[in-house]
Amino acid sequence: MKQKWLLFSLLVIMASCTKQEPMEALIDRVFSVAEQQYVAMDARLDDKTMPQTITHDSTFKSSTIYWWCSGFYPGSLWYIYEYTQNDTVKLLAEKNTLKLDPIQYVTHDHDVGFQLNCSYGNGLRLIGNKDYEKVLHQGAKSLATRFSPITGVIQSWDFLRRDWKYPVIIDNMMNLELLMFASKAFDDDSLAYVARSHADTTLKNHFREDYSSYHLVDYDPKDGHVRSKQTVQGYSDESSWGRGQAWALYGYTMMYRETGKPEYLEQARKVARFIKNHPNLPSDKVPYWDFDAPDIPNTPRDASAAAVMASALIELSQLDKSEEASAWFDLAEAQIRSLSSPDYLAEFGTNGGFILKHSVGNLNKNSEVDVPLSYADYYYVEALLRLKKIQNEK
C-alpha cells in the first residue's frame, strides 16, 4: 500500500510540473520583467541615444536617434505603460519619444515608419497628444518622397552597391502602416495610394513559388523592370531568411487590416503556411536565422523573427475567418510560450536591460549575432498585448 501511495504521489507531482502556465499568468510575469528591465535601461541613455544591443562581453551598446531601430525602445515603453499603467513608465515613454522629433523630416531612408509609428504612433493612441499626430503626418510625407510611380515602390536604401539602382527590401512593408494611418487621419489618399502600390508591386515581385520572400529586389528606376532578386542578410540569394519571412507575414496582415483587400489576406495566409509547414521550423517554433542555413540545427536561432511572427499570427488569427485561423493562433501561442521560457526570457538585472535573448541582426557581417535586440522586445510585448486583448474579449 505504501508503495502505491508513493507512486500516486510521484504521478501527482509530475502532473503538476508539466501543467501549462495559464496565459494570463504568463503575460503578467513577462510584463513584470519588462517593466523592471526597461525602466532600469533608461539610466544608460542620454538625450540623443537609444538602446541597440549588448556585445558578447556584455557591454551595453547604444545608437543615435537616426539608427533604424530607434523607435522600438519608446514603443516598448508605451506598450509596457499600456499594460501596467505605471506613470513612471509613461514619463519615460514620453521623454524617449520626443527624442525622435527630427526623424519626421528624414527623407534619405525608408525606416521613418519603424521609428515614428512605434513611438509617436503608440503615444498618440494611448494619450491622444495631438502634437504627436502632426509629427506622424510630416513623417509620412517624408517617407512618401521615396516613392516612384515608375517602379511603383518606395526605395529602401540610398547607398548603392552590388550594382543596385533602386533597391527595395521586404522590411519596407512594415513602414506602410505609417502611410495608412496618416492617410486616414488627414484624409490624404495620396499616402494610401503609395502604400497600396508598394504592397501590390512587392506581392508581384518579391515572392517565390512557395511564397517565401527574397530579401531585396532591385528595380530599374527608368522603366521599373526588375533587375535582380537577392537575399542580402540570409544564407544565399535563394534561401529564406527568417526575419524576412516574418516581415512579409506581418506586412500583408497589417495591410489587409488597413485596406480590407482580399489579396493581402491571401498573401498573409500563404506566407503563414510556408512558415508553419517548413520542415526546418524547430519544435519550439523559434526559427533559425535562415530556414535554409546549411548547419541546421547547429546555427543561431532568431528570437526577433519569432516575436514578429507571433504578433502577426495573432492578428491574422483574428482577421482570417477561415478554418485555418486556429492554426495561426496555436503557432503564435507556441512561439510566445517558448520566448517566455528561461531559454529566451532574461532575468531582471541581466541581458543589458533587454527582455529577450538570442536574436540575430546580420550574421553574414557577423553583426549582432545571438544577442538581444530592441525590435525583438517590441514585437514580443506587442504580441502579449494582443493576446491579452483577445482574453479580455472572451
Indicate which residues carry an active-site annotation. 111, 171
Report the C-alpha gap between 301 and 369 in whole angstroms: 9
525606416: which residue's cell?
Answer: 111
Helix (H) or strand (E) holding 148: strand 147-148
In single-letter form, the type of residue at position 97 comes to: T
Q: Which residues lie across from 51 on neighbouring strands?
A: 62
One-letter-per-residue 3-state SS of 91-117: HHHHHHHHCCHHHHHCCCCCCHHHHHH
492617410: which residue's cell?
Answer: 183
Helix (H) or strand (E) holding 190: helix 189-205
Pairing state of beta strands 167-169 and 153-154? unpaired
Q: Helices marked H in 278-324 — which ranges? A: 303-319
In degrees and rounded to multiples of 5, residue 254 shows phi and psi of -60, -45
User: What is the chain's Cα-based Rg?
Assistant: 21
CA nearest to 173, candidates 316, 367, 333, 312: 312
Neighbour tally for 64: CB within 10 Å: 11
Q: List own/partner pairs for 211-214 with CB under 8 A and 24 or more apart.
A: 211/267, 211/270, 211/271, 211/273, 211/274, 212/240, 212/245, 212/271, 212/274, 212/291, 213/170, 213/240, 213/244, 213/245, 213/247, 213/248, 213/271, 214/170, 214/244
Interacting residues of 254 by C-beta distance below 8 A, sequence separation 6+? 173, 174, 176, 177, 312, 315
For helices 23-41 and 374-393, the axis angle rounded to 10 degrees is: 140
For helices 262-277 and 242-259, the axis angle rounded to 10 degrees is: 150
